[in-house]
Amino acid sequence: MGIKTAKHVLVTGSDGFIGRRLVKSLHNDGFIVEEFDRSIGDISTYDFNYAELDHVIHLASMIFVPASWDDTKSFYQTNVIGTINLLELCRKMNCPLTYISSYVYGTPQYLPVDENHPISPLSPYNHSKLLAEEACRYYSNTFNFPVTVFRPVNVYGPGQNPIFLIPKIIQQTFDPSVESIEVMDLRPKRDFLFIDDFIKAIRLSFDQPNFDIYNIGTGYSVSVEEIIKTILRESGINKPYSAKGEERKNETWDVYAGISKIKNQLSWEPGTTFEEGIRKCIEEYKESL
């Protein structure tokens, strides 16, 4: 990026998949980084207090969609009230915020899904992120500080928790005790964005002047079966694979993001092909063995 200014940045969720990579990127470019993670406290009640702060990047949230059906109240408490707590900090310090939301559109009425697509959250997780977005909009417009909201579809990359699809498939691929790779369903198609491309977009949000929302992805989708085939091809391993035939609640069969707005307004576009991203994930996994 070539940015060497000593900006003072707070990153919440700094111990997470995206947070760790983002903090490293910021440190490398000379930023002063304050970190907040779960070990420090509850984001919905924590008393944030800084003498100086130039920007807040809010990643911290409860994220695993299936769990939001079982522990719904905690998702709203963390994702909505936690965001409002950060907005109060930004209001007090007149500090811009970058908020990482989620896919909130529901079953696509058309593809690609752009920012004008009707909103219809399919899970408590997605709904909690939408409510947090609305709080961001209100605070930004009422108290006059910039907020940039990103709506990513699926971010993946080295170091992602193995509860998620791609690292789970990689783990099964390399585990000699696993004779056949097994997934819930081979059919769903998703837009998968490599983590480094996402971090570049976050960095571009620092100087945005107002409230705005951007979809972010690659603009094309990949099926679960295509993911498996790509991982097998890039790993040089040959294994059979199958599906359990289990459909997720409110499953969306195909979705990919319309990214014209972020290309035009932030001059951003993805730079990593899916094959390249999978290759990097495999390399990291092999080094960890």
Whether residue 230 is contained in a domain is answered as yes
Nearest-angstrom CA–CA distance, 75 and 91: 24
Q: What pLDDT, in 10s, does the model give residues 79-98?
A: 999 999 999 999 999 999 99
Would you say 210 and 256 are in contact if contact means Cβ atoms under 8 Å apart?
no
Range of the domain at 159: 8-288
Q: What pLDDT, in 10s, does the model give residues 265-283?
A: 999 999 999 999 999 999 9
Average pLDDT across the chain, whole number: 94
Whether residue 223 is contained in a domain is answered as yes
Whether residue 2 is contained in a domain is answered as no
Q: What is the pLDDT of residue 63?
A: 79
What's the pTM? 0.93
| CATH code, domain with 262 | 3.40.50.720
- Band of the pLDDT at 250, cuts 50, 70, 90? low
Q: What is the pLDDT of residue 109?
A: 96
Nearest-angstrom CA–CA distance, 201 and 225: 28
Nearest-angstrom CA–CA distance, 268 and 263: 5
- Band of the pLDDT at 66, cuts 50, 70, 90? confident
- Band of the pLDDT at 251, cuts 50, 70, 90? confident
Nearest-angstrom CA–CA distance, 219 and 105: 15
Q: What is the pLDDT of residue 6?
A: 47
Whether residue 97 is contained in a domain is answered as yes
How many domains in the chain?
1
Looking at per-residue pLDDT, the higher value among 268 and 253 belongs to: 268
Q: What is the pLDDT of residue 84?
A: 98
Would you say 29 and 7 are in contact if contact means Cβ atoms under 8 Å apart?
no
Instruction: Summarize the confidence of residues 13-19 as an average pLDDT.
Output: 96
- Band of the pLDDT at 217, cuts 50, 70, 90? very high
**Amino acid symbol at 108:** P
Report whether pLDDT(1) > 50: no
Whether residue 1 is contained in a domain is answered as no
Instruction: Summarize the confidence of residues 182-207 as an average pLDDT.
Output: 96
Whether residue 170 is contained in a domain is answered as yes
Per-position DSSP letters for 166-207, written without gaps between them: HHHHHHHHH-TT-SSEEES-S--EE-EEEHHHHHHHHHHTTT
Whether residue 144 is contained in a domain is answered as yes
- Report DSSP state, residue 120: -
Tokens found for residue 193: 């964005």
Q: What pLDDT, in 10s, does the model give residues 126-153?
A: 999 999 999 999 999 999 999 999 999 9
Tokens found for residue 174: 């390399």
Q: Is the bond into 112 cis (omega within 30 degrees of 0)? A: yes
Report whether pLDDT(221) > 70: yes
